[in-house]
Amino acid sequence: MQIMSEKGAAGGGLRERKKRATRAALAEAAVRLAAEHGAEKVTVEAISAAAGVSVRTFFNYFDTRDDAFVVIDADAGARMRQAVLDAPAALSPLEALREAMVAELAEAEQQHELWRLHAQVLHASPHLLVRSLGAHMADETELAEAIAARIRAGGRPATASVPGAVPGPGSDEERRKALDLYPRLLAAVAGTAVRTSVEHWYARQEEGAFLDVFQEVFALLAAGLPAPPAPPA
Amino acid sequence: MQIMSEKGAAGGGLRERKKRATRAALAEAAVRLAAEHGAEKVTVEAISAAAGVSVRTFFNYFDTRDDAFVVIDADAGARMRQAVLDAPAALSPLEALREAMVAELAEAEQQHELWRLHAQVLHASPHLLVRSLGAHMADETELAEAIAARIRAGGRPATASVPGAVPGPGSDEERRKALDLYPRLLAAVAGTAVRTSVEHWYARQEEGAFLDVFQEVFALLAAGLPAPPAPPA
DNA sequence: TGCAAAAATGCACGTCGTGCAAAATTAAGG
DNA sequence: CCTTAATTTTGCACGACGTGCATTTTTGCA
């Protein structure tokens, strides 16, 4: 089994490291084979053989063959949430979210060749693209909860002192509801920024600049957001 | 084969009507069986038998067994886009979008029992929920393009005369990019409103009020949006 | 009614995905 | 170094999924 650059949270035991390596090897083999022959023509047997494990073992790591094409990094979502929660308290929720995403995307860009193949595979079969979008969206929901937790915990009501921010003539009830919705809106904007910039990056085949594009898109979308409502309490 | 209330755009030929009826019968049978026995325990054979067709015919209508659980209304997305395009020119993009969604959701609510079962099935198997989210998101992308087309075609730059709308000190270049992004942001907000209100509606088991909840969530989320940027030309 | 197009069906076949039990590997001590 | 318990890998069998192809049935129309 080919040793891979073990990324992510450096695990402790040898067992866990080997499991992560096997999982990564399977995912990478799946993507490379799919990019070459087309996802539909790649059997689980071929993926397993390329990763050096048995077919049965493949299904110990992935519930479905398609998962190997879609879920390249299983715990990226968890890392994102943790990064949002661990961000310095001085950052507004929006800034914390942006920094967390920039860090995650920067890490992913270190393997941009694999990610380009990944995008190519998804682009080639709409079926897989839908699965990927769904997984992305499920992560987004959990991310919204992490944002909400951060807002509840953190003392600062974000960028409350922005000059353009209207205090809002809403009642306390309205502000409470808006406060419930704000994390979702934030997560939706962030997700839209990611998808849009990935799409742009994939369309133009220029190498670098991806993070710059993301930052710009994020800023433009975020310009449409008001400061979060002040808590009614 | 059980005759179903043929909904949607009343098709012309008898052939198309029968095809839609068969498709609806299969989807409904799938959802009802899944709600009763659990989606994983429902075979294609059972669904086909319940709808009165052969197993092979099932696969003439759905690429996958799971599609029958997920895609209850195949052309809802197309209707949405058409409604957005056909909305009176006096409406802003935001208003046109809201009216289109309200109309669509109102129609769906006429079969709220089936939709409740549908939500229950998705809720029971995260696997299917992800698929549904992905399909929803793919529709959202196409919806954004319809919105963009409407903005390009329609004469009015939307609610440009809103008092709170800042003209924005951005350059023409920035406004052009923001204009490209605005439809996506709008679609994202609308999608978030739908998912949030559906979630709320499913959590509380109260009967009516769904459309009211949606309108409120939509308004609260939209409050975070600025007027669309004026075209640079 | 007769004819052509479209849809439904049956059948065969390869692949997927799972339960179960046996074999191999690992961590921890004596 | 060797033993032992826990974890992981693997093989095997089996039901279900999904597809290609030829055939039969149904529909639309003259």
B104-139 residue pLDDT tens: 999 999 999 999 999 999 999 999 999 999 999 999
- Asked if residue B147 lies in contact with residue B97, where contact means CB atoms within 8 angstroms, the answer is yes
CB contact under 8 A, A223 and B223: no
Rounded-to-integer distance, Cα B182 and Cα B152, Å: 12
Distance, angstroms, CA B66 to C1' D12? 28
Using left for φ > 0, alpha for ψ between -120 and 50, and beta otherwise, residue A75 falls in: alpha
Distances (CA, A) of B39 to A128, B68, B114: 21, 10, 15
Residue with tokens 């809106």: A185
For chain B, give the percent of residues with pLDDT over 70.
Answer: 83
Radius of gyration of chain B (CA): 20
Rounded-to-integer distance, Cα A168 and Cα A163, Å: 13
User: Which residues in chain B have Cβ-Cβ distances shorter than 8 Å to A181?
Assistant: 196, 217, 220-221
pLDDT in tens, B167-177: 556 678 878 88
- Picking from A134, A138, A225, the nearest residue to B224 by CB comes out as A225
In A39-98, the residues whose Cβ lies within 8 Å of chain B are 63
User: Boundaries of CATH 1.10.10.60 in chain A?
Assistant: 17-70
Optimal mutation site among B129, B174, B185, B195, interface A, most CBs of chain A within 10 A: B185
**At a CB cut-off of 8 Å and minimum separation 6, what does B110 contact?**
none
Distance, angstroms, CA B19 to C1' C3? 23
Measure A64 CA to nearest chain B CA, in Å: 10
| B-chain residue closest to A173, CA distance | B220
Q: A76-156+170-222: which CATH topology?
A: Tetracycline Repressor; domain 2 (1.10.357)
- Asked if residue B221 lies in contact with residue A185, where contact means CB atoms within 8 angstroms, the answer is yes
pLDDT value at B8 more than 60 = no
Mean pLDDT for B174-183 is 85
pLDDT in tens, A88-127: 999 999 999 999 999 999 999 999 999 999 999 999 999 9
Q: Which of A150, A149, A11 is nearest to A74 (CA)?
A: A11
CB contact under 8 A, A189 and B188: yes
Tell me which residues from 42 to 71 on chain B have a beta carbon below 7 angstroms from nucleic acid strand C: 53-57, 60-61
CB contact under 8 A, B185 and A137: no
- Asked if residue B4 lies in contact with residue B22, where contact means CB atoms within 8 angstroms, the answer is no
- Both tokens of B196, joined, read 């949030």
Instruction: Tell me the pLDDT of chain B averaged across its residues.
Output: 87
Residue type, A88: P
- Asked if residue A11 lies in contact with residue A49, where contact means CB atoms within 8 angstroms, the answer is no
Measure B187 CA to nearest chain A CA, in Å: 10
CATH architecture of A17-70: Orthogonal Bundle (1.10)
CB contact A164 to B (< 8 Å): yes
Which has the minimum average pLDDT: A81-85, B84-88, B99-103, B175-179?
Answer: B175-179
Q: Which H helix or E strand runs over B53?
A: none
Rounded-to-integer distance, Cα A6 and Cα A64, Å: 23
Measure B32 CA to nearest chain A CA, in Å: 23
pLDDT value at A49 more than 90 = yes
**CATH homologous superfamily for B15-70?**
Homeodomain-like (1.10.10.60)
What is the torsional sign of CA B7, B12, B14, B16?
negative
Task: Verify if strand D has an atom below 7 Å from the CB of A56.
Answer: yes
Position A35 confidence tier, pLDDT thresholds 50, 70, 90: very high
User: Which residues in chain A have Cβ-Cβ distances shorter than 8 Å to B138?
Assistant: 126, 129-130, 133
Q: What is the pLDDT of residue A176?
A: 82
- Both tokens of B103, joined, read 């109309």
Distance, angstroms, CA A14 to C1' D1? 22
pLDDT in tens, B12-23: 677 889 999 999
Q: What is the pLDDT of residue B231?
A: 60
Tell me which residues from 27 to 46 on chain A have a beta carbon below 7 angstroms from nucleic acid strand C: 43-45
CB contact A126 to B (< 8 Å): yes
Q: When comparing pLDDT for A1 and A79, which is higher?
A: A79
User: Boundaries of CATH 1.10.10.60 in chain B?
Assistant: 15-70
For chain B, give the percent of residues with pLDDT over 90.
Answer: 72
Position B228 confidence tier, pLDDT thresholds 50, 70, 90: low
Q: What is the pLDDT of residue A171?
A: 78
Task: Verify if strand D has an atom below 7 Å from the CB of B164.
Answer: no
User: Which residues in chain A have Cβ-Cβ distances shorter than 8 Å to B137?
Assistant: 130, 133-134, 136-137
Q: What is the pLDDT of residue B84?
A: 97
Tell me which residues from 59 to 118 on chain A have a beta carbon below 7 angstroms from nucleic acid strand D: 60
Tell me which residues from 56 to 85 on chain B have a beta carbon below 7 angstroms from nucleic acid strand D: 56, 59, 63-66
User: Which residues in chain B have Cβ-Cβ distances shorter than 8 Å to A77?
Assistant: none
Rounded-to-integer distance, Cα A196 and Cα B184, Å: 9
Distances (CA, A) of B6 to B18, B62, B115: 9, 19, 16
- Picking from B133, B185, B226, the nearest residue to A192 by CB comes out as B185
pLDDT in tens, A143-175: 999 999 999 987 555 554 444 455 556 678 878
Distance, angstroms, CA B60 to C1' C7? 9
pLDDT value at A226 more than 70 = no
pLDDT in tens, B43-73: 999 999 999 999 999 999 999 999 999 999 9
User: Boundaries of CATH 1.10.357.10 in chain B?
Assistant: 76-156+170-222
Q: Which of B60, B62, B34, B63 is nearest to B46 (CA)?
A: B34
pLDDT value at B199 more than 90 = yes
Q: What is the pLDDT of residue A177?
A: 83
